[in-house]
Amino acid sequence: MPLNRLKPSRVLTIERFSDYAEFRANEVLGLGTSTPLRPREFSLTRAILPLQSGVFVLQRAFARRFEAEMGTDTGIGLVVPLTFHSITNGVEIDSSTIGVVRGKAPVVSIEHQPNTYFMLRFNSDMRHRGWTDFDTGLATVRPQHDPMARLRAAFLEMFSLASGCDDPRQFEALHRPIQETLFACLDAALVPAGSLATRPGSFDRHRKLIARLDEVVELFGSQPLYSDDLATALGVSVRTLQTATQVVHGVSLHHYLRLKRLWAVRVLLMTGGGGLTVKAAALANGFWHLGDFSVGYKRAFGEMPSETLARGRGSFYRS
């Protein structure tokens, strides 16, 4: 989805500049100075999307020299590339690399071609999720191909959804489901695999934590399952829950919770009655990307959610 296909809405702001004299820098990760390398070819487009957890910007910039004190006084900043190449602080950075900044960090970057990337500023430092283990400065992370592809796809789908939504209240209702999807993708990309390894003798402790997790999930009933809420209810960090599910079940926390949410949808479809729709059942359980939901549902249960609903309606009307 090229950036130029996005349209402004009551949710999404679009800014386009074709004249450097009118250009205004975006403050999402601190203000900097941009000097065009080819002034006659100047062009910049960006889409700005605020969510509860922070501010996200999708930007296509011009060939430039960029100097800034980059970062945020609170929280954490990320740069996730779509197509990207630069020499930043003397190091070559390409499309396979995510930039992570805590606090403020001096940046001098030479970008010989227009780059397209996401800039993310989160209100939290995300240490409870285990996103990179350093205090301040600028670091780079090179995820595996699949986590990076899923992360990009989730961001693009989010911006596309915001572009087509003119009801802020409707989009606000999707904030937490959208953010949970993003957190899942970012956890997969940014949490070092080795950090989830168990220590000798700790399996029993993790097993007991997962048993408590299952009890809390039952108490949540029909509420959507969000990793932050569950960690708070258990009095542990999300990172601890991530380790426990990986150690006990061999899957990520988000995969584990996703399966439970899929089961909740399945039960609802089979028992919800004649007025229920697949979309309503999915949204009620925190699924906002309906295409992805349908694929995951069929993979888990061997049938489309509409088939389950049809069978459930048949049982409802026969009862």
Report pLDDT for 244. Answer: 92
Q: What whole-number distance in Å separates Cα of residue 142 and Cα of residue 129?
A: 18
- Report the CATH number of the 3-144 domain: 2.60.120.10
Average pLDDT over residues 21-44: 92
Query: How much of the chain exceeds pLDDT 90, in percent?
Result: 68
Average pLDDT over residues 176-202: 82
Average pLDDT over residues 226-247: 92
Report pLDDT for 201. Answer: 67
Query: How much of the chain exceeds pLDDT 70, in percent?
Result: 94
Question: What CATH architecture is 172-318?
Answer: Orthogonal Bundle (1.10)
Number of neighbours of residue 47 by Cβ within 10 angstroms: 22
Q: Is the pLDDT of residue 242 over 70?
A: yes
Q: Is the pLDDT of residue 318 over 60?
A: no
Domain ranges of the chain: 3-144, 172-318
Average pLDDT over residues 132-137: 84
Q: Is the pLDDT of residue 269 over 60?
A: yes
**At 225, is the pLDDT very low, low, confident or very high (cuts 50, 70, 90)?**
confident
Q: Which DSSP string do the residues of the chain spell out, in sequence order?
A: --GGG----SS-EEEEES-GGG-----TT--EEEEESSGGG--EEEEEEEETTEEEEEEE--SEEEEEEEEEEEEEEEEEEEE-EEEETTEEEETT-EEEEEEEEEEEEEESS--EEEEEEESS--GGGT----SSEEEEE---HHHHHHHHHHHHHHHHHHHT---HHHHHTTHHHHHHHHHHHHHHHHS-GGGGPPPTT-HHHHHHHHHHHHHHHHHHTTSPP-HHHHHHHHTS-HHHHHHHHHHHHSS-HHHHHHHHHHHHHHHHHHHS-TT--HHHHHHHTT---HHHHHHHHHHHHSS-HHHHHHHHHHHHHH-
Report pLDDT for 313. Answer: 76
Report pLDDT for 196. Answer: 64
Average pLDDT over residues 97-120: 95
Q: What whole-number distance in Å separates Cα of residue 294 and Cα of residue 303?
A: 9
Average pLDDT over residues 285-291: 88
**At 200, is the pLDDT very low, low, confident or very high (cuts 50, 70, 90)?**
low
3-state SS record for 98-148: EEEEEEEEEEEEEECCCCEEEEEEECCCCHHHCCCCCCCEEEEECCCHHHH
Q: Is the pLDDT of residue 105 over 90?
A: yes
Q: Which two tokens stand for residue 145?
A: 């191909």
- Kindly report the pTM of this predicted structure: 0.87
